[in-house]
Amino acid sequence: MNKDIATPVRTKAILDKYGFSFKKSLGQNFLIDTNILKRIVDHAELTETSGAIEIGPGIGALTEQLARRSAKVLAFEIDQRLLPILEDTLSPYENKKIINSDILKADVHKAIAEEFAGLDDIMVVANLPYYVTTPIIMKLLEDKLPIRGIVCMLQKEVADRIAAKPGTKDYGSLSIAIQYYTVAETVMIVPKTVFMPQPNVDSAVIRLIKRAAPAVTVKNEEFFFFVTRASFAQRRKTLLNNLTSQLPNGKEKKEQIISALEQVEIDPGRRGETLSIEEFGKLSDALYPHFVGQL
């Protein structure tokens, strides 16, 4: 068995060998605890016929664990300085491919078709750079990739918001956007002490398993998301106040907004965080005829 990359001593030796310095702008925090990495991979439930997509492999600590447990790993790394390091640290593993690209700009569909031919179970498993966590997760879901789900490490505060239930302070438009596509749960809390350098925040691992169909069926997806964002524009305001101030010509259309709320039996005095995703679906469908073509 090859020596694990994710130990403090080995990580430091690799960084020293290449004179690597961390770039704050890329949110680089490398994991130095093998047990935590193994548990992250456990939550992805990979088999020898699974493909794994990783984002931001760093020096290959998680990549190595994924390569040992899956048919193939495809990792997207934006920092060119890490390519020679990955070539070295991952040299024992034939079943990996590193693409030097920003995941937000990459054609992931094409990469999956080329690299995972014949594999029908694909999971994204990543320690995401915290400054772009949400855009990355949304891209992976909105691009409708042929993946089973995502297991990723992110800021604990963001994980709380993603997995939040209605009626809680963390529940918001992000919870709804991600739970529309997936079943979300926080599976691990990770202390800041297991990273080099240590981040300022605690981290969590969240597991998102894609739904066979979205959580609700709506007339217009884009409008549904617009309504949910509008409903949380100012958390202390009522649904009616937020919708009239956020929807196009909302003030002039106040009567139509009230009538749509009545139609679906939602009290205009409620706040956004009290509505379930199903209620938002009904509300957005009731409002939609009054706002068609105005977004």
C-alpha closest to that of 204 among 266, 250, 244, 152: 152
- Helix/strand/coil for 194: helix
102 known member of a binding site: yes
30-31 and 195-196 beta bridge pairing: antiparallel
77 known member of a binding site: yes
2 known member of a binding site: no
At what angle are helices 173-181 and 221-231 packed, to 10 degrees? 150
115 known member of a binding site: no
At what angle are helices 173-181 and 156-163 packed, to 10 degrees? 70
Helices (H), the chain: 8-18, 34-44, 61-69, 83-89, 108-115, 133-142, 156-163, 173-181, 221-231, 239-246, 254-263, 277-291
C-alpha to C-alpha distance for 231 and 253, rounded to whole angstroms:
16
56 known member of a binding site: yes
Peptide bond into 289 cis (omega under 30): no
Q: Write the CA distances from 30 to 11, 134, 137, 157, 196, integer angstroms.
A: 8, 20, 20, 19, 5
29 known member of a binding site: yes
C-alpha to C-alpha distance for 127 and 241, rounded to whole angstroms:
39
DSSP label of 267 = -
C-alpha to C-alpha distance for 127 and 154, rounded to whole angstroms:
7
- Whose tokens are 């139509």? That residue is 256
DSSP label of 33 = -
CB 104 within 8 A of CB 136: yes
Which residues are known binding-site members for S-adenosyl-L-methionine? 29, 31, 56, 77, 102, 127
Which residues are known binding-site members? 29, 31, 56, 77, 102, 127
